[in-house]
Chains A and B, each alone.
Chain A
Amino acid sequence: MRKIESLSGLEKWRERILARQKQYETVVSVCGGTGCHAYGCKRVRSQFAKVLRENGSRSKIRLRFTGCRGFCERGPIVTIQPQGVFYQKVQEKDVPLIVSKTIEEGKVLDHLLYEEPTTKRKATSEKEVPFYKAQHRLVLANNGLIEPTKIEDYIGIGGYRALAKALFAMEPDQVIEEISASGLRGRGGAGFPTGRKWEQCRNAPGDMKYVICNCDEGDPGAYMDRSLLEGNPHSVLEGMIIGARAIGANQGFIYVRHEYPLACKNGEVAIHQARRAGFLGQNILGSGFDFDVEVAEGGGAFVCGESTALIASIEGRVGEPRSKQIHTVAQGLWEKPTNLNNVETWANVPLIINQGSQWFSSIGTEKSKGTKIFSLVGKVKNTGLVEVPMGITLKEIIFDIGGGPQDGKKIKAVQTGGPSGGCIPASLFDLPVDFDSLARVGSMMGSGGMIVMDEGTCMVDVARYFVRFLKEESCGKCLPCREGLKRMGEILDGITEGKANGGSLALLEELAEVVADTSLCGLGKTAPNPVLSALRYFRPEFEAHIQQKKCPAAVCTPLIQYSISQVDCTGCSACRKVCPTQAIEGEKKQSHRIVGELCSKCGSCKDVCKANAVMVQ
Chain B
Amino acid sequence: MDFQAVEAIIGKHQGKRTALIGILHDIQEQYNYLPAGALEKIAQRLQMDLPNLYGVATFYKSFSLTPKGKHSITLCLGTACHVRGGPKLLREVAKRLNIEPGQTTKDKMFSLQAVNCLGVCAIGPVMLVDGKYYGEMNPVKARKLIEKLIPNGRGVRA
Interfacial residues, chain A to chain B (CB-CB below 8 A)? 34-35, 37-39, 71-73, 75, 217-223, 226, 253, 257-260, 294, 296-302, 313-319, 375, 377-379, 383-384, 415, 418, 449, 451, 453, 457, 462, 465-466, 469, 472-473, 475, 578, 580, 600, 602-604, 607-608
Contact = CB atoms under 8 A, between A and B. Distances in A.
B101 to A, nearest CB: 10
Contacts of A608: 140
B56 A317 contact: yes
Given A469-B77, A469-B116, A316 B121 contact: no
Contact of A223 (B22, B83, B119): B119
Contacts of A39: 123, 135
B63 A299 contact: yes
Contacts of A465: 79, 82
Interface string B71-83: 0000001111111
A297 B22 contact: yes
Contacts of A314: 18
B138 interface: yes
A580 B96 CA distance: 9
A383 B126 CA distance: 14
B143 A259 contact: no
Contacts of A219: 117
Most buried by A among B46, B59, B63: B59
B139 interface: yes
Contacts of B120: 34-35, 38, 72, 223
Nearest to B131: A261
A296 B63 CA distance: 16
Contact of B79 (A37, A297, A418): A418
Given A299-B63, A300-B62, A301-B61, A221 B18 contact: no
Given A72-B122, A220-B116, A316 B83 contact: no
Nearest to B86: A465
A318 B55 CA distance: 7
A371 B59 CA distance: 36
B139 A300 contact: no
Contact of A580 (B115, B118, B143): B143
Contact of A72 (B63, B123, B134): B123
A301 B121 contact: no
26 contacts: A39-B135, A217-B117, A219-B117, A220-B117, A222-B119, A253-B18, A258-B21, A259-B119, A297-B25, A298-B60, A299-B25, A299-B56, A299-B62, A301-B61, A316-B20, A318-B59, A375-B121, A378-B79, A383-B123, A418-B79, A462-B83, A473-B116, A475-B59, A580-B143, A607-B140, A608-B140
A93 to B, nearest CB: 19
Interface in B1-57: 17-22, 24-25, 46, 48, 52, 55-56
B88 to A, nearest CB: 5
A201 to B, nearest CB: 20
Nearest to B53: A316
A237 to B, nearest CB: 18
Most buried by B among A38, A223, A260: A38
A14 B71 CA distance: 47
A608 B140 CA distance: 8
Contacts of B81: 220
Contact of A220 (B22, B55, B78): B78
Contact of B122 (A377, A472, A580): A377
A277 to B, nearest CB: 22
Contacts of B55: 317-318
B18 A294 contact: yes
A316 B119 contact: no
A55 to B, nearest CB: 31
B100 interface: no
Contacts of B69: none
Given A316-B46, A580-B92, A607-B140, A297 B117 contact: no
Contacts of B88: 602-603
B77 A220 contact: yes
B121 A34 contact: no
Contact of B59 (A73, A302, A319, A602): A319
Nearest to A449: B79
Contacts of A604: 92, 138-140
A318 B20 CA distance: 11
Contacts of A319: 59-60
A378 B60 contact: no
Contacts of A466: 79
A561 to B, nearest CB: 15
Contacts of A317: 52, 55-56
3 nearest A-B residue pairs (beta carbon)? A299-B60, A220-B78, A38-B133
A220 B56 CA distance: 23
Contacts of A377: 79-80, 121-122, 124
A453 B83 contact: yes
Contact of B115 (A75, A259, A316, A475): A259
Nearest to A302: B116
Nearest to A295: B22
B18 A315 contact: yes
B84 to A, nearest CB: 7
Given A296-B21, A469-B77, A301 B83 contact: no
B61 A300 contact: yes
A604 B138 CA distance: 8
Contacts of A451: 79-80, 83
Given A221-B80, A300-B60, A300-B62, A35 B91 contact: no
A39 B138 CA distance: 16
A604 B88 CA distance: 9
